[in-house]
Each structure stands twice: as structure tokens, then as C-alpha cells.
Amino acid sequence: MKPLFSSHFLPSLRFSAALLLVAALAGCATGPATEPAAKPKLLVFLVVDGLPQRQITGYRDQLAPDGLARFLERGAWYAEAHYGHAFTVTGAGHATVLSGAYTHRNGIIGNEWRDAQTGEREYCTGDTAYSYIGHKTQPLDGTSPKNLKVETVGDVLRATDPRAKVIAVSGKDRGAILPAGKRGTAYMYMAQSGQFASSTYYMQQHPAWVNRFNGRKLADGYFKTQWKPLLDDAAYARSLPDNQPWYGPRGGALPMMMGAPADEAPGPAFYSQLLRSPFVDAMSLEFARAAIAGEGLGQDEVPDILAISLSGHDYVNHLYSPESRLSHDHLLQLDRLLQAFFADLDATVGRDNYIAMLTADHGFMPAPEYSKTQGRDAGRVNGGQVLARVNEGLQKRFGPGNWASFSGSSLLISKQLLAQTRADANAVAEEARRLLLAEPGFAAAYTRRELESGSQAGAPYFEPMRKSWHPQVSGDVQYILKPYWMFGTTTSTHGSPYEYDTHVPILAWGPRWVKPGRVEARVGVADIAPTVARWLGVAVPAAAEGQPLPLPN
């Protein structure tokens, strides 16, 4: 297979020389474009939160003609696309997709963690220096990309040409802020109001088009609306029936009413419920349409980026699992929403003027209870109880105190206690690792000394775990659970290096740039950024570690 581009560009500060290199190579290399020197006017970059590849292929026969099928039948798709880091969660995935850098470089070690020195709680996009525009802001709310340690393709694009626009929208703050990078603009759904808002990191007040959009009060229109299944009952035979016992006392079934029976008007509980339905994605795509019109995206020769993170699937999968009928139907609903969105893009931007690309920030594991019915070793870990036993063991050897706490996917040893007791940090970490591995459900753990030195290279899961560990941000013992085991009581989750969590779609469409076909070679999500940079004619982000995606045969 031929690569989309055979070498990395120069660092972004030397973009002029890089652009000359792009032009020279684009003119002589065989690539996916019929006009290699042309740039798309708009890159539409879609991230479906929590979409495992197995769901797309499993329900392919039920897809609409021009939603996801546009990629599968008329675009390029990668059958074996995987994340390279172990802790496959929303923040880490969204930090990777357009930077091309996994956690060990980008610094987003999870959705939340503890400060490695003080032990104080941190949120991946938290920044108390900024607040939401027109909305109350809590200390751990996501308001800026401060914690992102690398640049994105959008950052390079805007450094190359400040006229370029980079707009990101999501149902989750981290789903917009991290793909937007340092130089883009992020808008996120506000569960307190049903509106979309940015933060004062980006601007002091919203542009008029955002105010007009929020004035439409789209969320209120879903009050007392039912989420109804798209297809007849027989079409869902390959997924689990509703109201499985592991859904908990509230159950889960379609049709599902938006808003509690006793509610007389929309409120925060209703606006939050929309996140667990197809309706938040419908609103996100409608906001994207407003952004295209309001910002004039794709209307001149300077390429723009519109990053859209569709958050609903993740919420649905957490509550009901990807094997559920609710998840099955949610994907079909999303597919129809994408079909309508693509039709509007064709009309407003023009089919020959944009590239659409779609991936996911992580996959999803089956519910442990379901896995047990399939004969698998599966279970749940009570993190609070594990931590209490680890601390009890550390106290017996090193003295009283709260020695350890969970931070991202690592165990953080208290720097204050190390200083007070003068205990050897390596010895404490070794003992903490021993105590963790004695607990049911834990598969592997490596200490800071091993991760820094690489001394365990080749050991089980060491490489993906090392890619999930950042020396300045992470804790002192990096761990993973066994396959089909999970923390917590939610129905299902993600966050492992196993295939159900790492295997995600990478799909691309754009007739002038993307050769259609299926690619069997294993590729990484970090390969997206170098590919996108090539299309846009800019340097690859400096910290990117992927390679350009190969072409279909």
C-alpha cells in the first residue's frame, strides 16, 4: 500500500519550508486526490464518543444509504484501526485525534486526575481562570485547553494562516476543547440550560449567530418527546432486549419519554437527560450547521476545520451497554442524522469542497454480567475498597497516613508523606504495586521507575500502558484491570488496552482527495493527524507520532 504522505513535515515554526515540500511532493506522488495540489475548503472532523468498530460492521445492513454508508461504500475505511494508549477514555482520545500524540506526550492522562505534587483534584479541561459565557461555572468545569501540552492540526493551520477558522462543538466540554486545540474555538452543550456556550478563554461574549441559535431553544422542543425505535422489533434481534436486570432499578426501554412525568416545564434534569438520547447529537449537528453559516466555513480558499464530537452514544452505552437494543437504535438514529447533515453539507459547502472524516474517542466493553453469560471471567472492582486495603498495607510497612490515591489510571503516592517520613519512593511504589496485584481483577502494574527507564519493555501491556503515562502528570504505579473487568456500578464502561476498547472506526470521504476502499492493515488513531495535515497542506503537529494512513488498494 502507498502512504498518503511518505515523511513528516518540518516543525510548525518552519511552516514556509514545509509548504514548499508539500507542493513538490503533491505534484509528483500518487495519492488519493485527483487534484493533489488542491486543498479542501473545509475539513469536517467527526468523533462519535464511545463507538466501537464492531457496532458499525455489526449493523451495516441496517444503515441508511448515505450516512455511515457514505464512508463504507464510497469512502476509505480502516478495518483495523486502534488506539495505542491503554487508558481509553474520552479526554485521552479527544486529545489524540488531531494532535497525533498519545497521552505520554499530550499530557491528558484521563478525564480527571490528581495533581502529582499536591494531590488536589484536576479536570482535563479545567481552568479556574476562565468561565462559561452566560452560565454558572464550577471549579472543575471544562473551560480551556490549559492541560493540553501539544499542538493540534488546527493550531498549525491557524499559525500558518490566521484567516483559517477552527470551530469545535460537542455535548461535552472536553469533546470540544481538546480537538479545538489552543487556537480554535470551542462550544459545548450546557446541561443547566439546554444551550451551547463557549468560555472566556476564547471570547468575552458570543457572536450574534450563537445568540440567535440559543434563542431558538431547540432543547425545549424535545420536552415530553419520545425516543422511539426506528425499526420494527424483529430488526433488533441481534442486540439484547430492553430492561436487562443489570440496568439497575430504573431499567431502560424504548420508547423513552424525555422529561419526568411530574415535570411541568424543562429544567436541568431534563436538559441532562437529553445527553442520554439521540437528541443531543441532533442539536450538536444543528449547531454545526449554524456555525457553518455564521462563520462562513468553507466559503473561501483558506481551509477551515469544523470538529464535531457527538456525545450521546457514550452516555447510552454507559447506562445500557453496547450490546443493548438502546445502543443499537441510538447508532441507527445517529446514522440518519449524519445522512441529513451530509446532504446539507453537499448543498451549502459543495460535495467537491470538503472532506469528512469520522472516528471515535474509544470503544466500549460489554457489561460484565453479560460477559459472564458468555462464559468469560468478568467482574467489577470497588475502587474505594481496593484503595482502603492498599493504604492499610502501606501503613503496616511505612507508618500511618493516607499513602495512596487513584489518579487517572495510576496510583499516586503522597509526596507529603514521603517528605515527612523519608520513606524510599521506589520501595513504597513497589509495595503498592504488590498490594494492587493481590486484588481480584487486576492484570498488570508498573512503577514509575520501570516506566521512566523502559526496563519492562516487552512485558504484558507495558507499551500501551507507557503511552498512557506522563511523567509530570501521572502517578507512581500505572495499572490495568483484567479483560472484561471494570470499576464502578454503571452498566458498562471503557478504559482498557483490550480490543473492545481500542478498536474504533477511521472513515474518510472526499471524492477529490480520498480513494475509496477498505484497508486491512492495522493503523493507529495517531495516524489521523499526519493524514489531515497533508490534506490541508500544513506541517504535521510537532509532537505527532503517527504515520500517514495507507491508501486502499
The answer on 84 and 181 residing in a single domain is yes
Nearest 5°: CA angle at 210, between 206 and 214? 115
Q: Mind listing the pLDDT tens digit for each residue in 235-253? A: 999 999 999 999 988 899 9
Q: Mind listing the pLDDT tens digit for each residue in 363-387? A: 999 999 999 999 999 999 999 999 9
The answer on 223 and 344 residing in a single domain is yes
What CATH number is attached to the domain comprising 319? 3.40.720.10
Confidence of residue 340 (pLDDT cuts 50, 70, 90): very high
All cell numbers assigned to 98: 488531531
Buried b (16+ CB within 10 A) or exposed e, 133-159: beeebeeebbbbbbbbbbbbbbbbbbb
Is 492 inside a domain boundary? no
The answer on 409 and 346 residing in a single domain is no
Is 48 inside a domain boundary? yes
Secondary structure letter of residue 356 according to DSSP:
E
Q: Is the pLDDT of residue 16 over 60?
A: no
Strand 42-48: give its sheet, edge to edge: 195-197, 185-190, 166-170, 304-310, 42-48, 354-360, 506-509, 76-82, 517-524
Is 204 inside a domain boundary? no
Please give, one letter per residue, the 3-state secondary structure of 38-63: CCCCEEEEEEECCCCHHHHHHCHHHC
Residue 378 CB partners (closer than 8 Å, separation 6+): 368, 369, 371, 372, 484, 485
The answer on 406 and 362 residing in a single domain is no
Query: Could you tell me the pTM of the whole model?
Result: 0.93
* Alpha-carbon gap, residue 409 to 469, rounded angstroms: 8
Confidence of residue 84 (pLDDT cuts 50, 70, 90): very high
Instruction: Please identify, among 487, 510, 528, the residue that sits at the C-terminal boundary of a domain.
Output: 487
The answer on 422 and 353 residing in a single domain is no
* Alpha-carbon gap, residue 24 to 19, rounded angstroms: 9
* Alpha-carbon gap, residue 49 to 435, rounded angstroms: 34
pLDDT for position 540: 98
Q: Calculate Rg over the CA atoms of the chain.
A: 23
The answer on 331 and 403 residing in a single domain is no
Q: Mind listing the pLDDT tens digit for each residue in 292-324? A: 999 999 999 999 999 999 999 999 999 999 999
Find the helix or strand (DSSP H, E) in which 444 lies.
strand 442-447
The answer on 352 and 214 residing in a single domain is yes
Cell 479536570 -> residue: 123
Is 203 inside a domain boundary? no
Computed from CA positions of residues 29, 35, 39, 42, in that sequence, does the dihedral angle turn out positive or negative?
A: negative
Q: Is the pLDDT of residue 19 over 60?
A: no
The answer on 483 and 501 residing in a single domain is no
Confidence of residue 35 (pLDDT cuts 50, 70, 90): very low
Q: Is the pLDDT of residue 428 over 90?
A: yes
The answer on 389 and 345 residing in a single domain is no
Domain that holds residue 274: 12-198+209-291+303-367+497-536
Q: What is the DSSP string of 522-547?
A: EEEGGGHHHHHHHHHT-PPPTT----
Is 360 inside a domain boundary? yes
Find the helix or strand (DSSP H, E) in which 442 lies.
strand 442-447
Structurally, the chain folds into a number of domains equal to 2
The answer on 83 and 27 residing in a single domain is yes
pLDDT for position 250: 86
Is 262 inside a domain boundary? yes
Is 356 inside a domain boundary? yes
Beta-strand relationship, 226-227 and 112-114: unpaired
The answer on 457 and 421 residing in a single domain is yes
The answer on 318 and 361 residing in a single domain is yes
Q: Is the pLDDT of residue 27 over 60?
A: no
pLDDT for position 57: 97
